[in-house]
Structure 1
Amino acid sequence: MEHSRRTFLKSISMLSASAALPVSSFAFGKGDQKLKICMIGTGIRGNGFWGKRLVDKYSDILEFVGLSDNNPGRLAYAKKFIGVTCPTFSDFEQMVTETKPDLVIVTTKDSNHHEFIIKGLEMGCDVLTEKPLTIDEDKCQAILDAERNSNKKLIVGFNYRWSPYATKIKELIKNDTIGKIVSVDFNYYLNTSHGASYFRRWHGLREEGGTLLIHKATHHFDLMNWWLNSDPEEVFAYGDLEFYGDNGPFKGKNCRECDFKDKCDFHWDITKDQSMMDLYVNNEKHDGYIRDNCLYRSEINIYDKMSAQVKYANNVVMNYSLTTYSPFEGYRVSFNGTKGRIEAWRHVPYLQDSNIDQKNMHAAEMDQDNDAMNHEPIIIHKLWNDEYDTQVVSSEKGGHGGGDSRLQDKVFIDPNKKDEFDRSAGVRDGAMSILIGIAARKSIESGNPVRIEELTTLVPREKKLV
């Protein structure tokens, strides 16, 4: 299979939902040259999904010309793990200047996404960033301005949209299966393995991740914005820290050196995971970042329970909650319409058969080689009729229910293929998803509802069904 660099670069504009210029405007470069990529941030997500997976699957059309990180040990590990021979850099601007990439991939901590997104755009590169776009409204506005002032485009890596299950929900709503949607209940559950992991890492500090209303819930809010085909208008929320942080019964230096290993239900032995040791523990000396921090350390300042009510431009009201220490991992979502109701769920153990232990649930969800055949129902209730269910079959490989592989294939293999479900996400989508979380955080702090239009220059709108 031959793919030209020109074809790939066209896909960048098509993947960016905010693109206003014709596709040909982004087709710079001639012939069959490979797309030149550099990446900033060499943690797990960067090394695996945006690093090694691209090399393994798309090396015929792209090549890494540079890797950058502020930790030289992680950088050296990443180069070997990803399997590239490109130079490495501690300075981002030096990397871009010397390697002249076509595409910059940003997989750093959320708090400095904006820095590298803006620099990449200003230095003449298209940019692909991991979610969330950024963590506050000022950084968001700076990104919006930078993209508007450049002739380049920004892609946001939303993968949940691309899973067959999420797509089926979109199809049912689009086809008017239950009429006009009037309200939604969306409950997301992080278990005591996956949920706890956020509080061990930098995500437990709001100045780094913006709270889980932004870092984690941006996935969920983007799904809802896409499902409903509308922007959010107003948010009211509650949240608190009641379980982790200072609420714990004891504290330790970290899980490796804790005096309470035998007493703590959350003890995690990082020394049994060689990849974590090689990537993080062996490189603590460079920047002091501890991967197995204590869940009960006083520095934690994010919420561990969150609930928000979101009013949309199309008058839909969503009730959302996020639990971070649930016995199980998954979500339940219900749509109420003028003709009936849709009920859907993923991984809720008492609603489906599963032989995956909860400790391994997140790893299974992220597994890029997972090729198990899954049959997952969506229940449809019609007014004055018996309910019925539709089965969604997902059998292709890829994490996030097949969403990961479908997202990357769209970018690299089928950029020109029309998508009836409009799953591509650009800067506006990235902004609207985080603005719900930002508004929720501000509402918790102020006790008042927060209007989305007060945060940036973006004006909420209801989109037309296509």
Structure 2
Amino acid sequence: MPLGFGIVGAGQRCMYFFGPDIRRNADRAKLVAIAEPDQARLRSALDDLGGDIHAYEDIDGLLEDPLVDAVIIASPDFTHRELLDKVLDAGKHVICEKPMATTPKDARHMTRRARAAPEVVQIGFMLRYAPMFIRLKEIVDSGVIGELVQVGATEVIEYYHGASFFRRWQRFRKHSGGLLVHKACHALDVINWIVGSTPAQVSAIGGTDTFVANPEAATRCRDCDLATTCPAAYRADAYNYTYPTVAERADPDALGNDACAFNADKDIIDNATVMASYENGVRLTFNFVTTGQRHERRFMLVGNRGIVTASQADGTIVVEPVGGETQTAVLPEELRDEHGGGDEFLLQSFLDSVGGGEPPTADVMAGMHSLALALGAEESIDHHGAVVDLGPYLEGLS
């Protein structure tokens, strides 16, 4: 009998990832319900997805549906704590989108709650299920480069994608925690996983240096004289990292999310350099930027007997052990996108866990550690690079 899924939030994660992934695993999973307060968006989602899907205005109605066995929380980040509590109160399994929360208090509560519950709770860190990162962890764990000493990593967000964060709800830290929390949490999580230890201290510097106010630009792209040459200008025919409804697609002029990425109010950074240390002594340097030609994550894993370098966009892994032969692997094109092909594998792992298999690799402690590192970095930036001890973030969660 397929596991019945309900999804909270009819956004891009529901429409372009979880919904289709569930359909591709029809022998094991079925999308039975969606909860979305925006009725026009809800009707559009039902039309686009098709099939017999029950519609609800809120999570309370969805949780009363006897066909719902598991819930995917795909709503804005700051709503996750309340929704997780309700799902576990109802005795349902849950996939909670990343980041699991936007504050340490909420994340600690969610971690304790999930660890005490019999239901499966998985965090939406699909990179842990992407073949490239599974292979990187295998290489490090094999000892071929000796003991891991340090990690250097860079995440580059493609410019138009980067600009999108500065016109949407993520541009306020009260909603997203900041881009190190909302976006870089994927890279930070997979680094934590490869290192195999708990982040202990962090120092970071960063700022908003590109998406700053421009007096020559308008407040909306549709009214701006610079729109034809501006790389951040909203394009109705582009993928805008949102789910446009049927009505919005029919009338591009009705789109309301073409706010100027430069002139919109905001309090998030667009670049950062993060340095961190782990309990096992490994050190991390992580660079984050939002103004690239393409999306890319690059890694250098340094051991005391060699190094590994990897490019997600190029799909390459190069192993250079001291005294050994260099080995190069190239991943197929379909595994080189921003998510590394990990989305469907994440869903399949969740189904395995619900069916009695191993607990999720991307569990609540993974969510907690990634959030602590990201929030600690944001705090350090606020205090001009001061070293932040992450112990208080993780208090009582050993």
Identify the residue that residue 101 of structure 1 maps to in structure 2: 68
Q: CA RMSD in A?
A: 2.9
Matching residue within 234, 238, 254 for 2:220: 254
Identify the residue that residue 342 of structure 2 maps to in structure 1: 403
Residue 331 of structure 2 aligns to a residue in which SS?
strand
Native 8 Å contact 1:304 1:323 kept in 2: yes
Matching residue within 179, 190, 200 for 1:233: 200
Native 8 Å contact 1:233 1:311 kept in 2: yes
User: How far apart in 1 are the matches of 2:379 and 2:263?
Assistant: 24
Question: Which moves more between the two structures, 336-345 or 217-226?
Answer: 336-345
Letter matched to residue 40 of structure 1 = V
Matching residue within 295, 308, 316 for 1:377: 316
Displacement after TM superposition at 1:386 (Å): 6.8
The two structures have a TM-score, normalised by structure 2, of 0.89
Matching residue within 353, 372, 381 for 1:435: 372
Residue 193 of structure 1 aligns to a residue in which SS?
helix
Quick one: structure 1 residues 289 and 438, their matched pair in 2 at CA, closer, same or farther if it must change by over 3 Å? farther
1:35 aligns with 2:3: yes
Displacement after TM superposition at 1:283 (Å): 11
Native 8 Å contact 2:120 2:354 kept in 1: no
Q: Deviations over 1:118-165 (max 9, x none)?
A: 211122211111111111101102212322443323111211122222
Letter matched to residue 226 of structure 1 = W
Quick one: structure 1 residues 273 and 429, their matched pair in 2 at CA, closer, same or farther if it must change by over 3 Å? closer
Displacement after TM superposition at 1:211 (Å): 0.9
Quick one: structure 1 residues 36 and 415, their matched pair in 2 at CA, closer, same or farther if it must change by over 3 Å? closer
User: How far apart in 2 are the matches of 1:416 and 1:102?
Assistant: 12
Identify the residue that residue 327 of structure 1 maps to in structure 2: 293
Letter matched to residue 442 of structure 1 = E
Letter matched to residue 218 of structure 2 = G
Q: Deviations over 1:295-315 (max 9, x none)?
A: 012412100111111110110
Identify the residue that residue 262 of structure 2 maps to in structure 1: 296
User: How far apart in 2 are the matches of 1:325 and 1:431?
Assistant: 28
Native 8 Å contact 1:435 1:452 kept in 2: yes
Identify the residue that residue 390 of structure 1 maps to in structure 2: 328
Identify the residue that residue 141 of structure 2 maps to in structure 1: 174
Q: After TM superposition, list the pairs within 5 Å mapping 1:191-340 onto structure 2.
A: 191-246=158-213, 248-270=214-236, 277-278=244-245, 281=248, 290-340=256-306
Displacement after TM superposition at 1:263 (Å): 4.4
Letter matched to residue 380 of structure 1 = V
Residue identity (%): 25
Letter matched to residue 291 of structure 1 = N
Letter matched to residue 401 of structure 1 = G
User: How far apart in 1 are the matches of 2:364 and 2:190?
Assistant: 15
Quick one: structure 1 residues 290 and 117, their matched pair in 2 at CA, closer, same or farther if it must change by over 3 Å? farther
| Paired positions, count | 393
User: How far apart in 2 are the matches of 1:405 and 1:398?
Assistant: 14
User: How far apart in 2 are the matches of 1:269 and 1:391?
Assistant: 37
User: How far apart in 1 are the matches of 2:76 and 2:353?
Assistant: 30
The two structures have a TM-score, normalised by structure 1, of 0.77
Displacement after TM superposition at 1:339 (Å): 0.8
Quick one: structure 1 residues 52 and 271, their matched pair in 2 at CA, closer, same or farther if it must change by over 3 Å? same
Identify the residue that residue 3 of structure 1 maps to in structure 2: none
Letter matched to residue 138 of structure 2 = E
Residue 319 of structure 1 aligns to a residue in which SS?
strand
Native 8 Å contact 2:219 2:264 kept in 1: no
Q: Deviations over 1:60-88 (max 9, x none)?
A: 33333321112111111111222232221
